[in-house]
Every structure is written in structure tokens, then in C-alpha cells.
Amino acid sequence: MHAGLLTRLPEAEWQQRERQHRERVTRFSEPYLERRSRGAKHPVEDFLFTYYNQKPGQLLRWHPGAGVVLTGPAAAERAGWKYYTADDGVYADVARFADERRDALDFARLILGGTAARPAQFGCFGLHEWAMAYRSSVNGVRHEYLELRLGADGTDAVVDSSRIRCTHFDAFRFYTPEAVPLNEHAPTRESQRDLEQPGCLHANMDLYKWAYKLTPLLPSELVMDCFELSWRIRTMDMRASPYDLDAWGYTPIRIETPEGKAEYVRLQRGFAEESQALRATLLQHLERALDLT
């Protein structure tokens, strides 16, 4: 570790940041955990805790990021945390992380950098969710406790009359069998590195995934910036979906209409701009972390 690149935080300062982080997380995690305790589901607010692998307890742990040394007696317990080491304070062991997680690091850099460099596309109108519910009379629906806003036939009619052009593999892989050949692309895990683009809602939600996969090299404040952006994108994604969420307090974005398409693109452009800024920040933090190896 290059001593000149390290920042030392006194105990009172880093504990205050830790408390602020936990307060920020619990606003999202506590309602989820309460619902889970009674077997209830939420079609929007559960997603980041159920689709992604990061659990609430993991998200609650505050990390200062690479190059920051935590001082004081309270830091000692962190010496036993994964990818931490102690030497006149406790800090992230960047060299060990880079050695053991090299593939993850390289893939994250490849995806983040490649996505950032491509032009954003704004012509999908969120039809990936509709393709997941296509021919529901045969396949059922992914969210079995929700009703389709236009019914099964109406949902199929929207898909049949639209151009389906999803570029994101992790959305495409949930298409119904009948919807798969309707997509203009055939994304695969291998082609993900070539297809990801910053207009895609799911690629932008995945900023949270790349951020937590790089724990503890990134500061938790940045991870939560990605989480909160993903939360807002998920809300838009489901508002534009074929599901009726009026009872949950969400007004639909009626992408089957010209007005709905225009609203979708307006919001999509805003999220693309936010995501590109966060993507650049993630890459900057990652490169600074690797400078410490």
C-alpha cells in the first residue's frame, strides 16, 4: 500500500459516516424485512433485495472505500472482515482483492467503460416487461399476484404491434418463448459486453450491482447513490409495465399511446444522464483503487 495515497479518518468522523449510511439504508431495508417477515410482497420495492445478490445486512455495512484508513479502537473488529487488513489502522486490502477477484474487476471495467462509450438508444419503450407477459394465457405471468392492465389479449396486441428491440440479456432471458423471436436482438451473456448501452433502464439499474460487487473498494455512499438511482428506475420500469399497479399507488406510463411513449423517453433520457455521471464516478474510484496495488 502506498502510504502517500492513504487518508486517515479519526474514529468520531468515520463512525458518523457509518451512522448516516445505516440510516440511509434502513429507510429502504426495514419495510422490506417487515414485509418478508409476514410473507407479503411488493412489486416495486422488493426488487433490489430479491433480484440482486446483495442482502440488507450486507448493504448496511459501511465501507470507506480503498485508500482510507480507519483509526481508533472501534476499527479493530473490521480487521476480520473480508478484504480488510490492519496496520496502524484498518483499511481495505486492495492488493488481495485485485489478486483474488481479478476476473470480476476486469469484467466490471469492461462493462462500465464499454457502456459509457456507446450512444444511448431510446426506442425500446420498456417493452421488455410486456414481452415477459406475452401469451400469458399459455405461460402465466411472472408476478402472479398482479393483474394485467389491458388483460391478456390487450397485452399481446401491444407486443404484436410493436418493434421489440431490447439490448439487455438479463431482461431478454425472462421473455416468454413466443416473445423471444420477436426481439430485434438476441442478447447473450457473451454479447453483453458489446450490447450494453446507457439508454437501457436495466443496464442503469445494474450500476448498483457493479458497485456492490466491488465492495469494499468503493465508498458505501457511492454504492447507495447507485442503489437509490436503481430504486427510482425500477419504479419507472414497473409504471411502464403491463401490470395494473393502481392499488399500489403507481400511475401507469401508457406506452401503448403516443403520449405514454413520449413520457417514457423523457424519463429514460434523464436516467441515462444520471447513470452516465455515476458510471464515470464508479470508473474513477475503481482506477484510483487499483493505483494502490
What's the pLDDT band for 141 if we cut at 50, 70, 90? Answer: confident
Q: For residue 205, tell me if it sits in a domain.
A: yes
Give pLDDT tens digits for 191-205: 999 999 999 999 999
C-alpha 145 chain-centroid distance: 24
What's the pLDDT band for 143 if we cut at 50, 70, 90? Answer: confident
Per-residue pLDDT, 214: 96
Q: For residue 181, tell me if it sits in a domain.
A: no
Give pLDDT tens digits for 233-267: 999 999 999 999 999 999 999 999 999 999 999 99
Q: Using alpha carbons only, what angle is made at residue 262 by residues 149 and 226, rounded to the nearest 5 degrees?
A: 85
92-96: long-range contacts, CB 8 A cutoff, minimum separation 24: 92/63, 92/64, 92/65, 92/66, 92/67, 92/68, 92/216, 92/217, 92/289, 94/1, 94/66, 94/67, 94/217, 94/289, 94/290, 94/292, 94/293, 95/1, 95/292, 95/293
Give pLDDT tens digits for 161-188: 999 999 999 999 999 999 999 999 999 9
Q: Residue 98 pLDDT > 70, yes or no? A: yes
Q: For residue 149, tell me if it sits in a domain.
A: no
Contact by Cβ (8 Å): 49, 29 = yes
Q: Using alpha carbons only, what angle is made at residue 57 by residues 55 and 59, rounded to the nearest 5 degrees?
A: 70
Q: For residue 148, tell me if it sits in a domain.
A: no
Query: How many domains does one find in the chain?
Result: 1
Q: For residue 182, tell me if it sits in a domain.
A: no
Per-residue pLDDT, 71: 96
Three-state SS letters, 54-111: CCHHHHHCCCCCCCEEECCHHHHHHHHCCCEEECCCEEECHHHHHHHCHHHHHHHHHH
Give pLDDT tens digits for 11-36: 999 999 999 999 999 999 999 999 99
Residue 261 in grid coordinates: 411513449
Q: Indicate the helix (H) or strand (E) that contains 262.
A: helix 258-290
Q: For residue 239, tell me if it sits in a domain.
A: yes
Contact by Cβ (8 Å): 256, 60 = no
User: Residue 206 to residues 84, 112, 252: CA-CA distances in angstroms?
Assistant: 25, 10, 23
Per-residue pLDDT, 142: 82
For residue 118, give its domain range.
3-123+191-290
**pLDDT, average across residues 55-78:** 96
Per-residue pLDDT, 5: 59
**pLDDT, average across residues 124-143:** 93
Q: For residue 159, tell me if it sits in a domain.
A: no
Q: For residue 171, tell me if it sits in a domain.
A: no
Residue 161 in grid coordinates: 404491434
Overall size of the chain counted in residues:
293
